[in-house]
C-alpha cells in the first residue's frame, strides 16, 4: 500500500465525517429538546476523535457566517427579518423566488420553512471545500456526467456504449493502440466493441479493468471498486498494493477490489448485474448503509441514517427506484426503523 492510497482513503473518510457533522447540525437545530436525538449525537461524537474535530469545524464556520442563532430558543423571526432585509439589496433570482413562496404560506408554516432554508444555506456553505470543490473538479475533468435520478446512454467513437447511472462521471481518452475510460465517480455499464489490437481499459482509482470485447458493470465505492461481468471476459488489477491483485472474471462473476488491498469474489446472475438500468435496486444481504448510498443517487435532497448499528443491518429485497422515498420507507419498516421528513430536502432514518 502506498502513501497515495492512504491519502485517497483518508480523503474519503474526512469528507464523510464532515457531511455527518453537518447533518447533525441540522438535526439538533430542528429538534433541540429531543433527548434521544442528543444521546445518538453523543454516541456519534465519542466514536472517533475526528468526529469532534469535524463538529468543531462545522460550528465555527456556521458561527462565523452568523447563519445560525447560538441558542435553540433564539428569536428566529427577528433574525429572519434582518436576514431578508440584507438579501433584498442584491438578491439573486433564486432568493427572490423563495421570498415570494413564503407569502403563500401561513405565518407559522412560512416561519418554519424560512428556518429550514437558512439552515440549509449555512450547511451548504460549510461544505464548500468538502463537497462543492471536488464536484467542480469532477465537472472540469468529465467528458460525460449525469445528475440525480438521471440515466444516460453514451455511444463512443469506436462503437462501444456506456450506460451511466445517476450521479456518475467519466473521462474518455482514445489513442491509436488503446481505448481508455476513467470512472471519476458513480457506476457505469459498458458494452465494448471487440478489437483485440486496441484493448479497452476502465480505471476506477487504483483498480484497472482490461477487456477485449464484453459487457460489464463498474461501480466506484468508498475505498473499493466492484466489477460484475454480464458476458465475456475481463482482467481486474490493482498494482498499487503488495501483493498486487490480479483477477480474471468471466460471465456471471463479480469482484469487489479494495483500493488499499483485499478482494471479495462471488457469483452473480445476469439479471442482477446493473439492475438500475431497469430502475431496480436489488440487495442481497447488503448493509443498509450501502443500500441507502444507492438510493441517494435518486433523491434530490439528503438522506441521513442516525445509527451506525442500523447502517450495518443486512438488507435483502428488490426496490423500485422510480420512487426512492417509498423504497426507503419499505427498507426502514423491515428493520423496525422510521423515516422522518424533516424538510422537503432532508430524510432522516432512525431506529423506532
Q: CA-CA distance, 173 to 153, in Å (whole number)?
A: 18
> pLDDT digit string (tens) for 308-334?
899 999 999 999 999 999 999 999 999
What is the domain partition of the chain in residue ranges? Answer: 3-134, 144-272, 279-351
99, pLDDT greater than 50: no
> Which DSSP helix (H) or strand (E) runs through 77?
helix 76-88
Q: How far is C-alpha 278 from the chain's CA centre?
A: 20
For residue 136, the model assigns a pLDDT of 64
The answer to whether 310 touches 337, Cβ cutoff 8 Å, is yes
Residues in the chain: 352
* pLDDT higher than 80, residue 24: no
Cell 445560525 belongs to residue: 68
3-state secondary structure 34-68: CHHHHHHHHHHHHHCHHHHHHHHHHHHHHHHHCCC
Question: CA–CA separation, 348 vs 48, rounded Å?
Answer: 22
Backbone φ, ψ for residue 234 (5° rounding): -135, 155
Edge-to-edge strand order for the sheet containing 302-305? Answer: 302-305, 346-351, 337-343
Q: How far is CA 188 from CA 137, 223, 260, 265, in A?
A: 19, 17, 22, 19
What are the helix (H) ranges across 189-323?
Answer: 288-296, 308-311
Q: May I ask the CATH class of domain 144-272? A: mainly beta
Q: Which CATH class is domain 279-351?
A: alpha beta
pLDDT, one tens digit per residue, over 255-314 is: 999 999 999 999 999 889 999 999 999 998 999 999 999 999 999 888 999 998 999 999
The most confident of the ranges 15-24, 53-62, 137-146, 296-305 is 296-305
- Report the DSSP beta bridge partners of residue 351: 337
Which of 127-141, 244-258, 335-349 holds the top average pLDDT? 244-258
Domain 144-272 shares a fold with domain 279-351: no
DSSP designation for 72 = T
Instruction: Give the pLDDT of residue 49.
Output: 80
- The helix (H) or strand (E) run that includes residue 16 is helix 3-30
The predicted model scores a pTM of 0.63
How far does Cα 264 stand from its chain's mean position? 22
Beta strands in the chain (DSSP E): 144-145, 152-155, 161-164, 169-174, 179-185, 187-191, 200-204, 207-211, 215-220, 224-231, 233-238, 245-250, 253-258, 263-267, 280-287, 302-305, 314-320, 337-343, 346-351
Amino acid at each position: 500500500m502506498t502513501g497515495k492510497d492512504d491519502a485517497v482513503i483518508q480523503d474519503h473518510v474526512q469528507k464523510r465525517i464532515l457531511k455527518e457533522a453537518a447533518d447533525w447540525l441540522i438535526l439538533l437545530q430542528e429538534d433541540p429538546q429531543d433527548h434521544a436525538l442528543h444521546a445518538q449525537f453523543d454516541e456519534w461524537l465519542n466514536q472517533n476523535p475526528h468526529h469532534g474535530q469535524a463538529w468543531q469545524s462545522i460550528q465555527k464556520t456556521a458561527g462565523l457566517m452568523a447563519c445560525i442563532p447560538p441558542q435553540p430558543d433564539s428569536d428566529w423571526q427577528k433574525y429572519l427579518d434582518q436576514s431578508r432585509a440584507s438579501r433584498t439589496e442584491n438578491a439573486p433570482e433564486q432568493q427572490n423566488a423563495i421570498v415570494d413562496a413564503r407569502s403563500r404560506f401561513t405565518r407559522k408554516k412560512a416561519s418554519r420553512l424560512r428556518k429550514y432554508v437558512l439552515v440549509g444555506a449555512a450547511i451548504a456553505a460549510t461544505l464548500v471545500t468538502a463537497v462543492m470543490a471536488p464536484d467542480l473538479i469532477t465537472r472540469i475533468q468529465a467528458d460525460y456526467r449525469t445528475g440525480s435520478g438521471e440515466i444516460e446512454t453514451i455511444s463512443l467513437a469506436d462503437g462501444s456504449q456506456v450506460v451511466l447511472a445517476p450521479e456518475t462521471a467519466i473521462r474518455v481518452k482514445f489513442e491509436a493502440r488503446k481505448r481508455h475510460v476513467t470512472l471519476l465517480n458513480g457506476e457505469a455499464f459498458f458494452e465494448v466493441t471487440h478489437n483485440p489490437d486496441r484493448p479497452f481499459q476502465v480505471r476506477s482509482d487504483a483498480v484497472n479493468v482490461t477487456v477485449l470485447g464484453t459487457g460489464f458493470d463498474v461501480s466506484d465505492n468508498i475505498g473499493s471498486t466492484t466489477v460484475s461481468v454480464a458476458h465475456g471476459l475481463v482482467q481486474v488489477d490493482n498494482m498499487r498494493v503488495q501483493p498486487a491483485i490480479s483477477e480474471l472474471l468471466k460471465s456471471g462473476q463479480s469482484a469487489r477490489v479494495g483500493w488499499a488491498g483485499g478482494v471479495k469474489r462471488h457469483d452473480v446472475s445476469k439479471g442482477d448485474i446493473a439492475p438500475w438500468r431497469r430502475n431496480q435496486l436489488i440487495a442481497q444481504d447488503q448493509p443498509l448503509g450501502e443500500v441507502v448510498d444507492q438510493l441517494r443517487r435518486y433523491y434530490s435532497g439528503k438522506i441521513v441514517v442516525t445509527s451506525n448499528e442500523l447502517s450495518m443491518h443486512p438488507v435483502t429485497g428488490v426496490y423500485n427506484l422510480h420512487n426512492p422515498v417509498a423504497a426507503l420507507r419499505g427498507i426502514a419498516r423491515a428493520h423496525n426503523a422510521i423515516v422522518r421528513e424533516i424538510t422537503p430536502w432532508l430524510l432522516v432514518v432512525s431506529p423506532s
